[in-house]
Structure 1
């Protein structure tokens, strides 16, 4: 074995091929895939999470084959499972209304007596199961239009290119992720994770915005208001009937009595997952196509590669934060948060292509996906590359990128100081 800077040159112990690897990353062989996944797939998911993950893999692969054979115009058609999912979701909400009605009846009929307790119980139960609309919390770091006009102008331009309405608020947090959701009944919210935003190029950022805003045009029922709130209500039901750990005799009897109800709730949740999995998976593929139209195929594929190494983003943040905390302890307890995001970006920019390729192969072996609502990442990437490359509808020159960076500067500094002070994952 010999070294040159960060590069290690060695021979594969399995097939003898020369291996060139960055010393900071896993040594593996591209020819025979020796040591491509040294940690292995890990323990499989169980329960509902396991069902959702298996559905993601099954539908993701099936839809890849279908979409590969379709032309772009046919990819926008809707599936027939949506109406049934809506019907089940409305039934769940109808049960909540029935509980509220029973509570009101008990309160009126039992006024002044013990019947009031019966009514109040059902009213409280119905209130806890009510459909909850998304709201901004006091801890959210909200950027309004007056705070970041250039950022909003970029989001507006991407939304117009996608043929949809723009967002009403932008929240910036420290997750290596991004998302869109409805805010209340009519407003739209975009959440940008600063660690992900910082490590993307300008066109990859536009692709990210295109992907997220593309969800508003796809009719993803799982995350819509009706089905999404029904799933949250069912999760609350499941919480109420969960078995008591280390039960006494009475609790053991209660646990046993709740088994049928618990199985029924889990069956309804699994059915909703089954009905919405296909449209959700399809929506992700279509959102990827929207990302390519907005920021170019090259930008969308680059975004996909960055998403494959989100674990490295988190690991690097932890390492940088710990280094700064230790360094600060040696300097009168002052913790240095300067250049935290720049250090993160520099590390991601230095990741060699061999490590990206290893992550892609590991993703293919494990069936990696961002979460249970996403198709396997390697298939999403392949679908983009197999199609006809498309140019960007929206571009960001250096001046525009610098103006957006200036609008985020204060928030970048604040979040850097907070994660160094409190630790990543504690905000």
Structure 2
């Protein structure tokens, strides 16, 4: 027996995999999620073999992507038909009950309108004038990836990162979670930027205006047509009327999922390639390992917040805030190799059920180690400058964490 023990982590056996995954697998969130996970598992291994043997991995539009675009346009076309029909019923139907039906159509069309997110109000948002060195690094990484930089950077406490757009003009937003950023070295941070900016370069379909809003419209329809629990007799009849249109919504949403799933997962592998190209293969693999133990980083921040609540003095709060990120980095550095190995085996056991839109982390890591190793093409000497520019955000986010916000 090879029982790996560290009182901070799960005890497990490296020889027989006993207790590798003591928790229950994630429960599906509904019918759509169940179908998505099943499709992910079906295509995952095939996709891994494809991206591992494809030396010129790059963005591409296949038949499935074109069909997904057509289907998304049909969803928007139905919304437009509701809008036009509602206007006609209201304008031409005076003297009858038709304006009431028209008003209902207009209300539903308003609920289905395209959404353009705003900048987050509960996060520290930096613009180019606030952090010129950070934006210069982002621009350099973007040049290697083959895209442009971002218009704003949002900083929060999460052990994650991401890219999105905001506003009607679809400006670019990079979100950096300090729970991840602060435990990475310089090369791994560059790899992280390469990965995230890579999603812009490869055209993440689900984040686009057409497909993204079509999926949101279908989610809205599913909510509007949801079955009423414990119905009265009239509500039972209403549930029966909802059954057919809800089935159509489920079918269309499932088809969109199926048509975009492969491209979305392939986009993750492609983004990993950009990460390796910018920061080096070793840095990209290190980034994967940091993601494997991200839950431990989140738990550490939660413990810090809970510990502070037993100290009411301003001095205790100030000391806790000033060294929070250093303590987090120290904790992650102290995680034993056996815990990383357990997390990799746990990811392998759960497979594609962990996250249907992302290939399992252990497969992404394995692919990086299988293909030819790449050196770093972006070498940053901006460490001190970046730390200074992020000092305000680091302090603000630390205060929010310790105050339970």
Task: Select the residue among 356, 366, 377 that pairs with 1:393.
Answer: 377
For residue 217 of structure 2, the aligned residue among 225, 233, 249 is 233
Q: Which residue of 2 aligns with 1:305?
A: 289
Alpha carbons of structure 1 residues 370 and 173: separation in structure 2 relative to 1, 3 Å: farther
The equivalent position to 1:403 in structure 2, one of 358, 370, 385, is 385
Secondary structure of the residue aligned to 1:276 is: helix
* Structure 2 gaps, min length 5: none
Alignment correspondent of 2:264: 280
After TM superposition, list the pairs within 5 Å mapping 1:64-213 onto structure 2. Answer: 64-70=48-54, 72-73=55-56, 75-110=58-93, 115-183=98-166, 184-213=168-197
Deviates more, 1:265-274 or 1:309-318: 309-318
- The answer to whether the Cα contact below 8 Å between 2:90 and 2:98 also exists between their aligned partners in 1 is yes
Label 1:107 to 1:314 Cα distance change in 2 as closer, same or farther (>3 A). same
Correspondence list, 1:357-396, <5 A: 357-367=341-351, 371-396=355-380
Distance 1:224 1:414 in 2: 32
Query: Larger deviation: 382-391 or 369-378?
Result: 369-378
Partner of 2:47: 63
Cα deviation, 1:356-381, whole Å, max 9, x if unaligned, reads: 01100111011167632101111110
| Secondary structure at the counterpart of residue 243 of structure 1 | coil
Q: Shift in Å at residue 412 of structure 1? A: 1.4
Aligned residues: 404
For structure 1, list consecutive stretches of 5 or more residues without a partner in the other structure: 1-11
Residues 44, 352 of structure 2: 8 Å contact kept? no
The one of the two structures with greater contact order (alpha-carbon pairs below 8 A, sep at least 6) is 2
Q: Does 1:295 align with 2:279?
A: yes
State how far apart, in whole Å, the 1-side matches of 2:303 and 2:138 are. 32
| 1:338 to 1:326, Cα distance in 2 relative to 1, 3 A | farther
Residues 90, 62 of structure 1: CA spacing in aligned structure 2 closer, same or farther, 3 A cutoff? same
Deviation sequence 1:66-116 (CA, Å, 0-9, x none): 12222x225544322111000000000001110000111122124587544
Normalising by structure 1, report the TM-score. Answer: 0.89
Bigger mean CA deviation after superposition, 117-126 or 196-205: 117-126
Q: 2:13: which partner in 1?
A: 29
Q: Secondary structure at the match of 1:182?
A: strand
Give the structure 1 partner of residue 334 of structure 2.
350
Q: 1:276: Cα distance to partner?
A: 0.2
Task: Verify the 8 A CA contact 1:93 1:130 in the aligned structure 2.
Answer: no
Match of 2:397 in 1: 415
Aligned to 1:9: none
Measured after TM superposition, the shift of residue 145 of structure 1 is: 0.4
| Segment of structure 1 superposing worse, 111-120 or 291-300 | 111-120
**Aligned-residue RMSD, C-alpha:** 2.3
Cα pair 1:335 1:420 within 8 Å, conserved = no
Deviation of 1:296 (Å):
0.4
1:265 equivalenced with 2:249 (yes/no): yes
1:199-253 deviations in Å (ceiling 9; x for gaps)? 1111111111100111112122222211111000110111111112222221122
TM-score, normalisation: structure 2: 0.93
Residues 1:101 and 1:303: Cα distance change in structure 2 (over 3 Å): same
1:316 maps to 300
- Worse-superposed segment, 310-319 or 300-309: 310-319
Shift of 1:136: 1.8
SS in 2 for 1:37: coil
SS at match of 1:49: helix
Cα 1:176/1:332, change in 2 over 3 Å:
closer
* Structure 1 residues 335 and 292, CA gap change in structure 2 (3 angstroms): closer
